[in-house]
C-alpha cells in the first residue's frame, strides 16, 4: 500500500498532463463532429434556448421542434430550415473554437502561458454549457404519457442530453486544475 501511495503522491504532474490530454481528446473529437450535419442539428435545442447564444440563429427557439432530424435520418426540408437558420455555420464556428481550446489546453504541457489560457477557456466553456441545465427543456425527461402515468419526469430526471451536459462539471474542474498548474509554473519562473 505504501508503494501505491508513493507512486500516486509523486505523480501529480503526470496526472495533470493526463487531464490535459483528456481535455484535448474530448474537445477535438466533439469539436470536429460539429462539421457533420447530425451533430450540428443536435446542438440546436441548446443554442436556441440559450440567452448567451440564441442570437446566432435566425429563427425563434420553439420553431426548431418542427425541424428536428433524428441522428442518422436525413430530411431535406429540415436541412433546408437549418441552412436558413444558420445552424451549420454556427456549428462550424463553434467546432473550430472547441478544437482550439483543446489544443491550447494540451500545449500547457510545454507552454505555461498558452496552457493557462486553454485551461481558463475550458472552464469558461464548461460553465456556459452547464447553463443549458437551466435553459434547455430537452435536458430533462419529458412526460410523454403512455399506458400509465409517468412517475419520473422533469427535474431532477436527466435525459440523455442532460447527462451529457452534466459531465461538464468534470471538464470545468479539470480546466481549472490545468490552469492552476500552469499558473504555479509561471509563478515559479517569476521568482
User: What is the per-residue pLDDT across 89-110, written as a single tens digit (0 to 9) for each?
Assistant: 999 999 999 999 999 999 999 9
Tell me the whole-structure pTM to 2 decimals. 0.89
Half-sphere exposure (CA, 13 Å, Cβ side) for 147?
0
Distance of CA 91 to the CA centre of its chain: 13
Q: Which of 17, 26, 8 has the alpha carbon at shortest distance from 181?
A: 17
Q: How many residues does the chain have?
A: 191
Grid coordinates belonging to 160: 440523455
User: What is the per-residue pLDDT across 163-188, written as a single tens digit (0 to 9) for each?
Assistant: 999 999 999 999 999 999 999 999 99
Q: Which of 162, 140, 135 has the alpha carbon at shortest distance from 51?
A: 135
Coil vs helix vs strand at 88: helix
User: Which pLDDT belongs to residue 117?
Assistant: 98
Amino acid at each position: 500500500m505504501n508503494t501505491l501511495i508513493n507512486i500516486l503522491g509523486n505523480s501529480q504532474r503526470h496526472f495533470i498532463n493526463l487531464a490535459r490530454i483528456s481535455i484535448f481528446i474530448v474537445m477535438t473529437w466533439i469539436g470536429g463532429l460539429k462539421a457533420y450535419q447530425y451533430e450540428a442539428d443536435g446542438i440546436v435545442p441548446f443554442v436556441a434556448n440559450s440567452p448567451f447564444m440564441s442570437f446566432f440563429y435566425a429563427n425563434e427557439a420553439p420553431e426548431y421542434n418542427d425541424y428536428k432530424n433524428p441522428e442518422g435520418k436525413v430530411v431535406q426540408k429540415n436541412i433546408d430550415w437549418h441552412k436558413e437558420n444558420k445552424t451549420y455555420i454556427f456549428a462550424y464556428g463553434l467546432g473550430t473554437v472547441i478544437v482550439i481550446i483543446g489544443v491550447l489546453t494540451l500545449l500547457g504541457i510545454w507552454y505555461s502561458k498558452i496552457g493557462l489560457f486553454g485551461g481558463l477557456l475550458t472552464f469558461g466553456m464548461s460553465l456556459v454549457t452547464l447553463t443549458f441545465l437551466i435553459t434547455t427543456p430537452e435536458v430533462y425527461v419529458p412526460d410523454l404519457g403512455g399506458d400509465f402515468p409517468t412517475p419520473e419526469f422533469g427535474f431532477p430526471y436527466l435525459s440523455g442530453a442532460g447527462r451529457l451536459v452534466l459531465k461538464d462539471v468534470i471538464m470545468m474542474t479539470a480546466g481549472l486544475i490545468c490552469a492552476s498548474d500552469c499558473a504555479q509554473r509561471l509563478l515559479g519562473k517569476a521568482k
